[in-house]
Amino acid sequence: MTLKPSIVEGPLNGVTVVDLTRVLAGPYCTMVLADLGARVIKIEEPEAGDLARGIGPFISGKSAYFASLNRGKESIALDIKSSDDDRRIFEALLDNADVLAENFRPGVMKRRGYGWETLQLNYPGLICVAVSGFGHTGPCSSRPAFDMVIQGMGGLMSLTGQPGGPPTRVGTSIGDITAGLFAAIGVTGVLYQRERTGHGTFVDIAMLDCQVAILENAIARYAATGSVPEPLGSRHPSIAPFAAFAASDGHIIIAAGNNKQFQILSGVIGRPELALDPRYDNPANRVENVEDLQRDLEDGLKTQTGAHWLQVMEEAGLPCGPIHNMEQVLNDPHVRARNMVVEMDDPAAGRIKLAGNPVKMSCFDDPSERGPAPDLDSSREHLLAELGISA
């Protein structure tokens, strides 16, 4: 039996995902898979549904937060913990699924009778991706986790904020989002492996692992120097000038990463002597004297507006940019041209703007409109009909 195809054309057309995830990390993974063409069937708790349905802001009673993560999915409410009838429906869905996604704490699926050993035996081609705070092994595996816990424990908050300031969270839930992205990468990888072997795979994704994986030069710096990296505000630890700089009416971003770019920068702001200053005449010296460098550059930059400098620097070929708020991001001509603002039409909430799919592929269209997020249990009738199960 072939289940209903995805409404998005993409490389994962024909792949069916049974989605037990809720809130953010797991639903972000399955949203990415849906944007790549997979059909995603969301299994929710009866009555309450995904906890994200109760997270604001709300538009006409609908959670915009939930909608932003669950566009184009289907929903059926099943109590797989205690209802034999619902378990039969769930198992019928698994019979036709390629991927099962879940983000319970380790052990929950086994207690419900769907641990990996059981799934592997009953559905040998099934891929199971499990997203949790700390993974399915290790001394912390049974602990609950939220994004804030992971940002702190994973070292990110030790690098974020102004020098000497209080611990600062990154402005998006990057602990959840990176886990969702790595989970989607893992699923696409093992789908390819299954094509060759026919066997399913268990993909174990820990939010903490993913946070450590993106620490980038912080790990390299500590390994090389033995010094513990600390917050640096907007500046880069190894490149200068590479930060937010004050113009007469606000801040702009300048990233002049080599000697040639620094010479051009010094000239266009009317301070050509800076390129000859022994404090700034090579990359290492600029990093060593970064605070003096910031003051000297801003002495020139504060004579004109940010818009003036951005125009001058862009004409000179220097990497630079404004600091946009959300309204400016969503109305930016380049963001719009790249179809990174899409819309969905919700029967109750009307048209809602959402972030688009950043994966652009020459062989598939990138539609500017996406299917709405499902109402709780709204797909029950057609799913049961497809499965041949009486309502």
CB crowding 217-253: b at 16 or more within 10 Å, else e: ebeebeeeeeeebebeeebebebbbbbebebeeebbb
Region class of 292: left (phi > 0), else alpha (psi between -120 and 50), else beta: alpha
Q: Judge residue 162's burial from the number of C-beta atoms within 10 Å of its C-beta, 0-12 exposed, 13-18 middle, 19 or more buried.
A: exposed
Residue 241 is given by DSSP the state: S
Cα 324 from Cα 328, distance rounded (Å): 5
Contact 381, 391 (CB under 8 A): yes
Told to judge if 136 belongs to the known catalytic residues of this protein, a careful annotator would answer no
Pick the catalytic residue from 136, 199, 236, 251.
Answer: 236
Q: How far apart are the first and last CA of the chain?
A: 18
User: Residue 276 contacts by C-beta under 8 Å, 6 or more apart in sequence?
Assistant: none
Would you say how long the chain is, in residues?
391
Closest C-alpha to 324, from 339, 314, 334? 334
Cα 108 from Cα 127, distance rounded (Å): 18
Contact 351, 343 (CB under 8 A): yes
CB atoms within 10 A of CB 314: 12
| SS3 of residue 155 by DSSP | coil
Active site residues: 236
